[in-house]
Amino acid sequence: MNEMELKYGCNPNQKPARIFMKENQELPIQVLSGRPGYINLLDAFNGWQLVRELKKATGLPAAASFKHVSPAGAAVGLPLDETLAKIYWVDDMGELSPLASAYARARGADRMSSFGDFISLSDVCDVDTAKLIKREVSDGVIAPGYEPEALEILKAKKNGNYCVIQIDESYEPEPVERKQVFGVVFEQGRNDLDINKELLSNVVTENKEIPELAKIDLIISLITLKYTQSNSVCYAKGGQAIGIGAGQQSRVHCTRLAGQKADNWYLRQAPQVLSLQFVDGIKRADRDNAIDVYIGDEYMDVLADGAWEKIFKVKPPVFAKEEKRAWLDGMTEVALGSDAFFPFGDNIERAYKSGVKYIAQPGGSVRDDNVIETCNKYGMAMAFTGIRLFHH
């Protein structure tokens, strides 16, 4: 098959819609269940490239959670500790397979943004991963294969309408890619840049030490950025992205947005949040929303109107700003990648507030000296990669 008709394009009014290959080529995918849409397939193909590269770079199974052609989360399959298992709502599932752990991390980094995601998996989907996917609200999944039992679990989701796509893992696209905008054809060489630890060898700060685990996190952040709508910045820690700022016109806004998401990820691990008692039967998405409100600045408004009674068994105490700041001061050893150079030191100042210790960015700004000086002030190690990772 070299053509697939789609229900519509990005929006219902955009018809007809299809994907297709040249006459002598076959599509590299099989749809095993459901009917993917235009944006689903954009997410699937970008996500597949991301996880394939993460697997190649780290040797570990990888997963990504995509929304609107940018990742909400990306991770490799490292084991989850008790706290992470709890904040990702998988503490009732026992020990997870490495692939399931990767998706739990990818989904759990920013659960609000991942709601209704499209999932990408680097390895054959196993039963553990399928059971995890079954309980989450998502549109579909792409993987190089599925265990028989896992496939049956996924095909039963959404009354049989859940999108399950199998991709030919040996498929390689042509070296030149094209797209049409406003009737004009754009052509460029495909971004096949290999992201590896050699890109981190030019450390320009006084602190030259980047431990191996931090290098893995920097590689994860850079590969994630390669498939994130620009401008973009990615915070990573412990084998996963913990905050992604995508599609912002100003780089400091990327840094702030991603930093806030990283802060929320860490605040969810605070004792005040872990001890919240939810009413019986509350949906997972409602719990996520409630936690986001609880750790936000608007929680006093929620307390005032009594809405807490619909969510919590016991009225939670206010998580004071000073308490939150004290907890966030414990977040350390965070890695930060940027898809283009930092033009001002204000990005570094913001990154420091979210525990950033290691940075990878292209360099090349006329204010590089100011950025390096700011890093030195906080004892950070920063590598200039010399490569830009814009994605549009």
Q: Which residues are catalytic?
A: 67-68, 231, 392
Two structure tokens written together for 133 = 């996917």
The alpha helices in the chain, defined as continuous H runs, are: 38-58, 82-87, 98-108, 111-114, 127-134, 148-155, 212-226, 251-267, 271-274, 284-294, 299-304, 321-328, 346-353, 368-377
Residue with tokens 């991390």: 105
| Eight-state DSSP code of residue 158 | G
| Eight-state DSSP code of residue 54 | H
**The dihedral sign for the CA sequence 172, 107, 245, 336:** negative
Count how many Cα atoms sit within 13 Å of the Cα of residue 160 in the half-sphere of its side chain: 0
Two structure tokens written together for 262 = 């990283």
Rg of the chain over CA atoms, in angstroms? Answer: 21
Rounded to 10 deg, the angle between the 251-267 and 321-328 helix axes is 100
8 A C-beta contact, residue 253 and residue 245: yes
- Between CA 243 and CA 216 the distance in angstroms is 16
| Helices H / strands E in the chain, number of each | 14, 15
Residue with tokens 């990648």: 337
Find all residues with CB under 8 Å of 203, minimum gap 6, and list them: 210, 381, 382, 383
Two structure tokens written together for 7 = 């229900």
* Residue whose C-alpha is closest to residue 67's, from 117, 104, 105: 117
- With H, G, I as helix, E, B as strand and everything else as coil, classify residue 357: strand
